[in-house]
């Protein structure tokens, strides 16, 4: 398995934990599975930095995950992102913020960068540049 990049947050106060989970249950409701994993901060580490990290997972089961596109071309994926919107706003904004966040933590994800560029191209081609509120480079 290749390395997966991410950020983990530790929330100390019980009332803050409850509020964060309540928010996440709304924001991440399209994900149909949850898992608790060990989080490693170094690729060669043998002991996790944090255990029991909550992870939301979107499966490829179209019955459980209505937003799963299925096998699709790069252009189809980008087109879905251009049009998708959820409780946290437009999916394209999420993609642009993800691209920026990955760069900030030192992860150059070619797929994410290329996808963000394709989404920008589609939006600009359709004359809907006003849709891109964030993340324009």
Catalytic center residues: 28
Q: Which residues pair with 118 in a beta bridge?
A: none
CA-based radius of gyration for the chain: 17
Listed in sequence order, the DSSP H helices in the chain are 14-27, 74-83, 91-104, 110-125
Token pair of 37, please?
């994993």
Distance in angstroms (rounded) separating the CA atoms of residues 40 and 77: 30
Q: DSSP alpha helices (H): ranges in 68-109?
A: 74-83, 91-104
Distances (CA, A) of 3 to 49, 99, 106: 15, 17, 13
């Amino acid at each position: 398995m290749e390395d997966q990049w991410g950020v983990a947050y530790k929330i100390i106060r019980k009332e803050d934990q409850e509020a964060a989970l309540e928010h996440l249950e709304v924001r991440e409701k399209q994900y149909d599975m949850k898992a608790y994993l060990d989080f490693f901060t170094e690729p060669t580490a043998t002991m996790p930095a944090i255990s029991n990290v909550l992870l939301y997972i979107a499966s490829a089961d179209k019955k459980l995950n209505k937003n799963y596109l299925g096998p699709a071309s790069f252009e189809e994926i980008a087109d879905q992102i251009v049009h998708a919107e959820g409780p946290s706003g437009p999916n394209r904004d999420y993609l642009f913020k993800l691209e920026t966040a990955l760069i900030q933590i030192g992860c150059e994800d070619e797929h994410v960068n290329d996808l963000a560029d394709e989404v920008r191209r589609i939006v600009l081609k359709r004359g809907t540049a006003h849709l891109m509120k964030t993340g324009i480079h």
